[in-house]
Amino acid sequence: MAFVFHSLVDDANEWRTELKALIPDLDYRVWPDVGNPTEIDIALIWKAPPGMLAQLPNVELLLSLGAGVDHFLTDPDLPENVPITRLIDDFCATAMMEYVLLQVLRFHRNDPIYQNQQSNKEWIFHAPKIAADRTVGIMGLGALGSESAKTLKAVGFNVRSWTKHKRNIDGVESFSGINELPAFLSKTDILICLLALTEETSGVLNKHNLSRLPKGAYVINVARGDHLVEHDLLSLLDSGWLAGAALDCFTEEPLPDSNPIWSHPKIFLTPHASTGTNAPSAARHVAENIRRFYAKEPLLNELNRDTGY
């Protein structure tokens, strides 16, 4: 029984320290220096390199180092019937909420317009609105979406949600299913995508749907690049239908130099940095799942492969 770690963004040594403090006898190995790969039964991974999963024939538990598990689901070597868990802790949800709040407030208080005016030395007043004058629509009410919805509500925004199945949060107007998507979009001034990436949600931010937002709406994508049809967003920004976008994730990461999104005047972008995994708190979650796995108890945040989240 041995454990393997792989990530290009998380620190293998920090994770070793945190996990060994919780499980002192953990046989912790770091990909690709794993010794005999047939000994590995548990893997903690953020984006396995091609072929890695095929080289772990006895893996019995796959732990994602992030909230998303699409990196496992799109891997052609993903073994069938091996449980997969998502990593969601309070740090991850709080960091996402802060990022979402920042972008919503930037758009709400005309920050992009004033930044532009400052660079042109233009003194033009735009009457401020308050949060109660603005409707924010959140797609996806998982752990991350719910946290952001509650905070935006507490700040005073009108908040509405769109989910696959009806979900209720106090004070948040709930829309669900494809039939209610047009009504949800029609009064959303600032749209936030926090959906899991599945076959059903891939490309949901397309011209057809984004054109249903009121003129002058803003789009924030903090889920996955593949939720967004980039070309459709660019054309709606260029035609003036949409006023701006904040993007944290892209179909191709790092975003290639040649992508026009880099220099689009109405787009603010960050390099998949909206939230992250915090080893000290996340390791407790991972260690608990390792304990549950060996004790044959139900796992925390286990993926339902049918729904994709």
33 DSSP 8-state letter: B
Work out how close the CB of 67 gets to ligand GLV at its nearest, in angstroms, rounded to a whole number.
4
Work out how close the CB of 93 gets to ligand GLV at its nearest, in angstroms, rounded to a whole number.
11
- What is the identity of the amino acid at 172? V
Q: Do the Cβ atoms of 268 and 246 come closer than 8 Å? A: yes
Work out how close the CB of 143 gets to ligand GLV at its nearest, in angstroms, rounded to a whole number.
11
272 flagged as catalytic? yes
Q: Where are the alpha helices (DSSP H) in the chain?
A: 12-22, 70-73, 90-108, 111-119, 143-155, 181-186, 207-210, 230-238, 279-295
Half-sphere exposure (Cβ direction) of 3: Cα atoms closer than 13 Å: 22
By beta-carbon proximity to ligand GLV, the closer residue of 66 and 140 is 66
By beta-carbon proximity to ligand GLV, the closer residue of 67 and 192 is 67
By beta-carbon proximity to ligand GLV, the closer residue of 68 and 140 is 68
Residue nearest to ligand GLV according to CB distances in the complex: 66
28 DSSP 8-state letter: E
Name the site residues for ligand GLV (rule: CB under 6 A): 66-68
By beta-carbon proximity to ligand GLV, the closer residue of 68 and 244 is 68
The catalytic residue among 6, 29, 167, 224 is 224
Work out how close the CB of 42 gets to ligand GLV at its nearest, in angstroms, rounded to a whole number.
19
The catalytic residue among 6, 134, 272, 285 is 272
224 flagged as catalytic? yes
- Side by side, the strands of the sheet bearing 40-45 are 28-30, 2-6, 40-45, 61-64, 84-85
Active site residues: 224, 272
